[in-house]
Amino acid sequence: MAQKEFSVVGKKIPRIDGYERVTGQAQYTGDYQLPGMLYARVLRSPYPHAKIISIDTSKAEKLPGVKAVIHHQNAQVPWASGGHTHKRYIFNNPVRYVGDSVAAVAATDRHIAEDALALIEVKYEKISHVLDAKEALKPDAPKISPDGNLSVGKGSFSAPITEEWGDLEKGFKEADRTFEDTYISKHVNNAQIERRVSVAKWEGAKLTVWASTQGVSNARTDIAKDLDLPLSKVRVICKYMGGGFGNKNQAQDYDLMAAVLAKVTGQPVKLEFTREDDFIGMHGRWASEQHYKIGVKKDGTITAVDLDAVTNVGAYRKQSGNLSGTDFYQIPNFKKVVKPVHTNTVVGANYRAPAYPQSVFGFASFLDQIAHELGVNPLDMFMRNRVRLYKSKTPFTSNFLEECIVEGAKKIGWNEKWHKAGATPGAKKHGIGMALGGYPFRPGLGAATIRVNPDGSAHVLVGVTDIGTGAKSTMAIIAAEALGIPLNRIQLTNGDTDVTPFCIGESGSRATSFTGPAVIAAAEDVRRLIFNVAAPQLKAKAEDLDLKDGNVFVKSDPTQRLPLGRAVARSGELIGRATTNPVFKGVEGKSFAAHFAEVEVDTWTGHVKITRYVAAHDSGTILNRLPAESQIMGGVMQGIGMALTEELLIDRPTAIPLNPSYRDAKVPTHLESPEVEVIFIEHSDPYGPFGGKVIGEPPITPAVATVANAIFNATGRRFKELPITPDKILRAVRV
Amino acid sequence: MEEEAKGKGVSRRDFLKGLGGGAIGTAVISTGLLDPGKVEAYPTESIGTSRGKSAVNLKVNGKAYRLEVEHRETLAEALRDQLGFTGTKIGCDRGECGACTVVINGRNIYSCSQLAVWMQGKEILTIEGLAKGDKLDPLQEAFIEHDGPQCGFCTSGQIMSGKALLLRNARPTEEQVRRALSGNLCRCGNYNREVAAVLAAASKVR
């Protein structure tokens, strides 16, 4: 598709709900107060693996204000019964990690609910536990899942995850040198600022859940399945969402607990997680141990990659546990075996680009190391091995990774600044590093409704929740562009399954690519209706009409025109709708990125300061530059945290998480935020809505490895285990 | 320690209870500070004593209120649950994230770490009190223009810390803005936007 002239797309447009967000008017899930509403809290297991022998709630129930206590005996509700993995309940017996839900209390206020938790008497019989993924695979390890510790799932969730192409043996034979090493990443919490909260209310047989979810439609599907209700009897609402980064996909156990407590008590229930609950009771990014064998030619060209890895998915399998960081490289002969393993720890599941940053860290660090050992400049190494064909065979819808590398390197001044590792004299050492990343751009099911009012204004109804990506604004921009009316004539209604049509939800960077095409199709649908109504008024044929800037006009003579409000004044309401499900045939979609960082490593303190950061992205046409740039900067920040500070520490003997709080998890602050220069390599993608590809997930993918490689260039020391904390740096540079 | 225990937002008791009654003995390991003997008896003792109520007179956004508050109720809870000022968010409820930041007598303070009963005679400014009628505060305008909110959950706190800064220093440097806002976490990682917005607001006011 040639680059089109757009009227609304491609500008820097402030979010359409900016006013609500800066005035405190935006109503997030926890802000809803309903008459007679109860507050609920969750009791969690103090043991990593134990059978519940008895649970005595009598003292808790006697506490004035307590209305209901639910637990595994009186509330056996499956959680994610429609999922791919083994069955899990909202309360499980045995409990399988410190933090596993044991009971929930509803009371007249949250303090009473908290007091009541302390009055529940639970007798546990401890079972031996295992924390390490490799230990868990040993035959004599404690058995966590009934099916064994190698997680068993269905389809893409099966285990082990294997992938193979080319001829590995031949590839290694062709290599001039073969390298082998292991890289390790740790469990990192998503740590979104909005704690989990759910408000549930029954009206007869109809359940309404104000959820904090990344996808209202999927949340509804899950809740209906788990509670065995028809879809029509479940309404899920989420209009403002305070972040999730993958750990608020679909419905979660607390939505179900709130629904059950509301049913039992006959009153609306608000169930709130505490911050500790949020850190240990849900999930973070799966930890991994990645063993690579890589064959290369003398010039650095990859001939074969063999990846053998374990990932720690914790006590329950929620998502894939895969590692996909090799995606950005042209690998002619490839084999991957990833084993998602159960341990008695917090669940490892989706966090922004789930299978990528930890995996890119391992692979791009190792490539950087191999470049060093071959005496090849890393820029040449990454350029030479950049991906051209998906899995060495399928072309991409568009691929401007090369331009990302070229422009990013130019911007940071790679050729002038790169030096041999550890070459800077003095205690403060300069380093520069880079890595490649991106994320799949897939087509899929989307739906939208557009209602054009008699005054020419329009309602756009879409199911997006807008988790911070600016999806509401993007949908309004797409609608304005496709309809041909000014953006300020559009009212967007989102996130309510009784009102808005199906939406895949904001996970996997799918809002724009799935729902965007539906908005365009719905606009085309309603434009047809508009032209039918306007044709007799303009004494023209409907097919000869066009609509732009809010005016309906005759294509051959634009002076023959009517303001939209006049054209549809007597039509009541014109409704356009579309459900779209495009497919890619013989092509694969991907957004690409090349990141570059400069660091200063203080070899006296071990402190790493990121002095400059350049992020070059190929995401096709950028639909709205303002939030798009914010997304890039934010992904980089999360990557920096993962690279330098964040890790959930677990006390070995007790299996208790030691740092489930912001301060102790060391989430980056304003003081750790470097300037991030964002470059968009903009080329319209032939398959994307208005040429756009995905943008939410790509920026975190190369960030961890970029920082790690810059630290190597500064210190001459390779860090193979995350996070790269000052103590590790000091130990390495002092030897 | 005595006062800290009463304050819901910062109490270690609540941290222990978050893990559940059965966790008490072991949870001590993670704080490393409490005498296990004392902790064992704590929850049952505190129930009953902490539920007293007192009246408190305070001003919020220029308007005087008289509230009946439970002694363990935090300012953040009173603002949100009693007065309906839900623009003040609670992100951690333990003085770490800054989502609940309000301006009290000119200073930016975590409202989750203040008990409502301590607010006698205090003047509190929340996000809802910034705009003058339809006219947004320059900070609010700048946060819209510079894309200050991504998910928006930390935004009120960021703006209130920015407000307190500009009240005492109308011409801050970038470094001063970063420092002033460093107690306000933004997991969307939108720090540079928030700093740019505060600097833009400062230059507008000048």
For residue A274, list chain B residues with Cβ-Cβ distance below 8 A: 14, 18, 93
Backbone φ, ψ for residue A226 (5° rounding): -65, -35
CB-based contact A706:A443 (threshold 8 Å): no
Range(s) within chain A of domains with CATH label 3.30.365.10: 32-127+190-283, 347-439+588-734, 443-580
Q: Is B88 on the interface with A (CB under 8 A)?
A: yes
CB-based contact A288:A704 (threshold 8 Å): no
A28, A120, A671 ranked by CB distance to B182: nearest:
A671
Do the chains contact at B17 and A114, CB–CB below 8 Å?
Answer: yes
User: Which residues between 330 and 389 in chain A have a beta carbon less than 8 angstroms from any beta carbon of chain B?
Assistant: none
Do the chains contact at B153 and A28, CB–CB below 8 Å?
Answer: yes
The domain defined by A32-127+190-283 folds into: Aldehyde Oxidoreductase; domain 4 (3.30.365)
Q: What is the pLDDT of residue B41?
A: 35
Do the chains contact at B151 and A45, CB–CB below 8 Å?
Answer: no
**Most A CBs within 10 Å: which of B151, B181, B185, as the mutation test of the A interface?**
B151
Distance of alpha carbon A290 from alpha carbon A315, whole angstroms: 20
User: Which residues between 554 and 593 in chain A have a beta carbon less than 8 angstroms from any beta carbon of chain B?
Assistant: none
Distance of alpha carbon A634 from alpha carbon A638, whole angstroms: 6
Burial A86-108 (b: 16+ CB within 10 A, else e): bebbbbbbbbbbbbbbbbbbbbb
For residue B140, list chain A residues with Cβ-Cβ distance below 8 A: 22-23
The one-letter amino acid at B108: N
Q: What is the pLDDT of residue A84?
A: 60
B114: closest CA of chain A, how far (Å): 16
Search chain A and give the residue with CA nearest B97.
A662
Instruction: Tell me the pLDDT tens digit for each residue of B19-69.
Output: 333 333 332 233 333 333 333 333 333 444 456 899 999 999 999 999 999
Q: What is the pLDDT of residue A447?
A: 97
Cα–Cα distance list, A74 to A69, A71, A99, A107, A251 (Å): 9, 6, 20, 17, 21
In 3-state terms, what secondary structure has residue A400? coil
A274-295: average pLDDT: 97
Q: What is the pLDDT of residue B75?
A: 98
As a whole number of Å, the end-to-end CA separation of chain A is 57
Domains assigned to chain B: 2-49 (no CATH), 53-128 (3.10.20.30), 138-205 (1.10.150.120)
Do the chains contact at B181 and A670, CB–CB below 8 Å?
Answer: yes
Q: Domain A347-439+588-734 class?
A: alpha beta
CATH number given to A443-580: 3.30.365.10
Q: Is A125 on the interface with B (CB under 8 A)?
A: no
User: Which residues between 165 and 194 in chain B have a beta carbon less than 8 angstroms from any beta carbon of chain A?
Assistant: 177-179, 181-194
Give the dihedral sign, CA A139/A142/A143/A149: negative
Instruction: Tell me the pLDDT tens digit for each residue of A652-691.
Output: 999 999 999 999 999 999 999 999 999 999 999 999 999 9
Q: Is B12 on the interface with A (CB under 8 A)?
A: no
For residue A190, list chain B residues with Cβ-Cβ distance below 8 A: 187
For residue A63, list chain B residues with Cβ-Cβ distance below 8 A: 47
CA dihedral A659, A100, B4, A196 (to 10 degrees): 90
Instruction: Tell me the pLDDT tens digit for each residue of A84-121.
Output: 666 789 999 999 999 999 999 999 999 999 999 999 99
ipTM above 0.90, yes or no: yes
Q: What is the pLDDT of residue A4?
A: 64
Do the chains contact at B192 and A673, CB–CB below 8 Å?
Answer: yes
In 3-state terms, what secondary structure has residue B30? helix
B50: closest CA of chain A, how far (Å): 10
CB-based contact A661:A655 (threshold 8 Å): no
Instruction: Tell me the pLDDT tens digit for each residue of A15-28.
Output: 999 999 999 999 99
Average pLDDT in chain A: 96
Closest C-alpha to A355, from A315, A384, A328: A328
Q: What is the pLDDT of residue A507?
A: 86
Write out chain B's pLDDT in tens, 206 residues.
333 333 333 333 343 333 333 333 332 233 333 333 333 333 333 444 456 899 999 999 999 999 999 999 999 999 999 999 999 999 999 999 999 999 999 999 999 999 999 999 999 999 999 999 889 999 999 999 999 999 999 999 999 999 999 999 999 999 999 999 999 999 999 999 999 999 999 998 76
User: What is the token pair recorded at B153?
Assistant: 């959950």
Q: What is the pLDDT of residue B45?
A: 38
Question: Who has greater pLDDT, A730 or B52?
Answer: A730
Instruction: Tell me the pLDDT tens digit for each residue of A235-249.
Output: 999 999 999 999 998
pTM for the model stands at: 0.93
Cα–Cα distance list, A315 to A275, A386, A499 (Å): 20, 37, 37
B182: closest CA of chain A, how far (Å): 5
Q: What is the pLDDT of residue A82?
A: 60
**Most B CBs within 10 Å: which of A37, A54, A193, A632, as the mutation test of the B interface?**
A193
Q: What is the pLDDT of residue A705?
A: 98
Q: Say what percent of chain A tops pLDDT 70.
A: 99
Residues of A marked as catalytic: 697
Distance of alpha carbon A225 from alpha carbon A233, whole angstroms: 11
Q: What is the pLDDT of residue B80?
A: 98
Q: What is the pLDDT of residue B205?
A: 72
A354-383: average pLDDT: 98
Q: What is the pLDDT of residue A86?
A: 62
For residue B136, list chain A residues with Cβ-Cβ distance below 8 A: 19, 22-23
Q: Is B94 on the interface with A (CB under 8 A)?
A: yes
For residue A30, list chain B residues with Cβ-Cβ distance below 8 A: 86, 89-90
Q: For residue A379, how far is the Cα from the chain centroid?
A: 29
A267-271: average pLDDT: 98
Q: What is the pLDDT of residue B25?
A: 30
Q: Is the pLDDT of residue A259 over 90?
A: yes
Q: Which residues neighbour A402 within 8 Å (Cβ) at sequence distance 6 or greater? A: A383, A386
Closest C-alpha to A632, from A645, A649, A651, A619: A619
A555-562: average pLDDT: 97
Cis peptide bond N-terminal to A160, omega within 30: yes
Q: For residue A210, how far is the Cα from the chain centroid?
A: 21
Q: What is the pLDDT of residue B31?
A: 34
